[in-house]
Structure 1
Amino acid sequence: MTTDSRTDTHTADLALMPRTGAPRQLLLLMHGVGANAANLLPLGRVLQAHFPEAAVISLQGYDPFDGMPHDGSARQWFSIRGDVEADRPARVAAVLPRFVADVRAHQQRLGIGEAATALVGFSQGAILALEAIAANDGLAGRVLAFSGRYASLPAQAPKLTTLHFFHGSADPVIPVRHAKDAMQHLAQLEGSDATIDIAEGIGHELHATLLDCALHRLTHHIPMRTWQAALGGVAAAASPNGGETLQ
């Protein structure tokens, strides 16, 4: 069971908290451009049904959407006006310090460490999550990037964060080639730990097929750093000099 913590959906983050006890995991959700925090609450409820001890917080885009006319509830993390392709890295970089500070503030307030935090972004929210980790490796233990992309491909792979890409093959907004290119690029970098799931015939949406893939990754994918730590422990235990054994 969960409790909802919310205020004005036009301006505030929305939280789903465990009914009893302190949360043990933190899932931060970032919506796409033109949406708002309330739009990802259904996703939040699905996630918390599988992780009942988690705090699930849907974050609100910092600025009103400056695109087509709307009722005032639409938000954005950065503007999509003008030459977005050329300016995207700078636009994301401008908002990253605030976003990273907010992530750390939620972690500190709830007493949850980086390894127990996941950033879950859709579209523009996924761009923000990927770029935040590219600039701050280990800010979260995992990123779930739905229908997203990098603003610019990273120079090095994160060592402390596992990346999961989820994309529809027929996405007309952010074509799936961006996710494929990211995976190919990461595979060439030392220490990369990333997965990709592509749903055939699916467009730019949080489709149930991709949600099922995400739940599977969260519950079955063991991060590479965990394997490496285990193998290191085995090697230390077998060493003549001794060392800690696996528990």
Structure 2
Amino acid sequence: MQTLDGPRLPAATGRAQKLVVLLHGYGADGNDLIELGMQWRRLLPDAAFVAPHAPGRIPGFPPGMGGGRQWFALDAYDPDLLRRDPHQTAAIYAQMRDAALPSAAILDAFLDAELAKHDLPGNRLALVGFSQGTMMALHVGLRRSPAPAAILGYSGALLGAGLEQDIRGRPPVLLIHGDADDIVPVEAMHAALNRLGEAGCPARFHVSPGLGHGIAMDGLELGGGFLAESFSAAAGGAV
């Protein structure tokens, strides 16, 4: 099986007691998100951060340029169609779920290896995703046992059907989205919240006014606080 790697930040305290895995979006690579670790180190000084590069390369992406990675191909994805005909959402995300399965297995193995490297149990893990990375974080994280301490997703969606049958843990989830996102419409976040609720998974959300497909300061601050709170709760109050 293919293995993953990417940029890392060691725990500021020198010994990791938490692990935060940052999953980038389509067309980027791990270097795109590792900066989030720098932003959150003050809140999580004993957390190690790693931002793996997705296993796939986008065909035709200019060689020698940074990024160009994908967790799965987006051949069928059309955000304009989702806005014109929301009834197509389920079918499109079901097709994307099937495309994501090979990378999901690779990512799941990577998480096990990283936890073992730091000698940490599975509930000392948090998954953070952006866009396609959010899709992967939700798909893999909700099917892990023990459940991660938290899943934080920016500008993403929930893939496919069958969550109620597949879910193995119900970690706290925070979804953050811009209401002007023209790549992944904010309606995708609301659809994900509905499905998470049906599966009994506690989920919160925040909408950043006027934000397109990105992460704003309000979302950055809320996300960091959510991770610190969730890790504390997973440890029974011990930070």
* TM-score past 0.5 threshold: yes
Q: Deviations over 1:163-222 (max 9, x none)?
A: 1111111111111111111212222333x2111111111111021111111123223468
CA-CA distance at 1:139 after TM superposition = 4.4
In structure 2, relative to structure 1, the CA distance for the partners of 1:187 and 1:137 (3 Å cut) is: same
Could you tell me whether the CA contact under 8 Å between 1:18 and 1:53 is conserved in 2?
yes
CA contact (8 A) 1:121 1:146 kept: yes
Whole-angstrom CA distance in 2 between matches of 1:173 and 1:181 = 15
Give unpaired runs (5+ residues) of structure 1: 1-10, 231-247
Residue 176 of structure 1 is aligned with which of 169, 186, 193?
186
1:79 alignment partner AA: A
Give the secondary-structure state (helix, strand or coil) at the position aligned to 2:204.
strand
Which residue number corresponds to residue 32 of structure 2?
39
1:200-239 pair list within 5 angstroms: 200-220=209-229
Report if the CA contact (8 A) 1:28-1:57 is conserved. yes
Distance 1:223 1:87, change over 3 A: farther
Higher mean Cα deviation, 122-131 or 67-76?
A: 67-76
Unaligned runs of 5+ in 2: 78-91
Higher relative contact order (CA 8 A, sep 6+): 2
Describe the shift of the 1:133–1:12 C-alpha distance in structure 2 as closer, same or farther (beyond 3 A).
closer
Matched ranges for 1:192-203 at <5 A:
192-203=201-212
Contact 1:24/1:53 (8 A) holds in 2? yes
TM-score (norm 1): 0.78
2:11 alignment partner AA: P
Do the aligned partners of 1:16 and 1:44 also contact (CA within 8 Å) in 2?
A: yes
Q: Which moved more, 1:38-47 or 1:153-162?
A: 153-162
Distance in 2, matches of 1:46 and 1:225, equals: 22
Q: Does 1:101 align with 2:94?
A: no
Contact persistence 1:137–1:161 (CA under 8 A): no
Counterpart residue number, 2:88:
none
Aligned residues: 216
1:13 maps to which residue?
6
- Structure 2 residue aligned with 1:129: 137
Is the aligned partner of 1:79 residue 2:73?
yes
Cα distance, 1:12 vs. partner? 4.1
Residue matched to 2:22: 29
In structure 1, distance between residues paired with 2:20 and 2:230: 17
For the structure 1 residues 118 and 173, does the alpha-carbon distance in structure 2 shift closer, same or farther, using more than 3 Å as the test?
Answer: same
The worse-fitting range, judged by mean Cα deviation, of 127-136 and 71-80 is 71-80
Partners of 2:150 and 2:231 within 8 A in 1: no
Specify which of 168, 173, 184 is matched with residue 163 of structure 1: 173
RMSD over equivalenced CA pairs, Å = 2.6
Name the SS for the 1:49 alignment partner.
Answer: coil
Partner of 1:167, secondary structure, is strand
